[in-house]
Amino acid sequence: MLKYLLIGLLVWLLVIPALKRTFGKHPSPRRSTAEPPAPPTSSGDVQDMVQCAHCGVHLPEAEAHHDRAGRPYCSAEHARGGPRQG
Ligand SMILES: [Zn+2]
């Protein structure tokens, strides 16, 4: 008699998760419906960063001043000053 109770309990334990899976009430760990947040990088937004040859500060390539050798500087002043010595 106890054997049937145990079998019934086992069946119950197997059936409950199966029912939950069938009805899908628990959230799926994959979250396939949720889209990941799109990164704000569209083509053209990404700027190359350059380092001032004089003081070493980083700045966008578009804002950089270049000397005749093509070295980037953070300002015209530093471009005039040239690359840092030593
Ligand atoms: Zn500088």
What's the CA-to-centroid distance between 29 and ligand 1, angstroms? 50
Neighbours of ion ligand 1 (CB under 5 A): 52, 54-55, 74, 78
- Tell me: the pLDDT tens digits for 38-54? 666 555 567 789 999 99
Structure tokens at 19: 């029912």
What's the CA-to-centroid distance between 46 and ligand 1, angstroms? 22
- Tell me: the pLDDT tens digits for 62-71? 999 999 999 9
Is the overall model pTM greater than 0.85, yes or no?
no
> Average of pLDDT values for 56-66?
95
Measured between alpha carbons, how far is 55 from 64 in angstroms, rounded to an integer? 13
What's the CA-to-centroid distance between 73 and ligand 1, angstroms? 5
- Tell me: the pLDDT tens digits for 19-37? 888 887 656 566 666 777 7
Structure tokens at 49: 């960063």
What's the CA-to-centroid distance between 57 and ligand 1, angstroms? 6
Measured between alpha carbons, how far is 70 from 81 in angstroms, rounded to an integer? 14
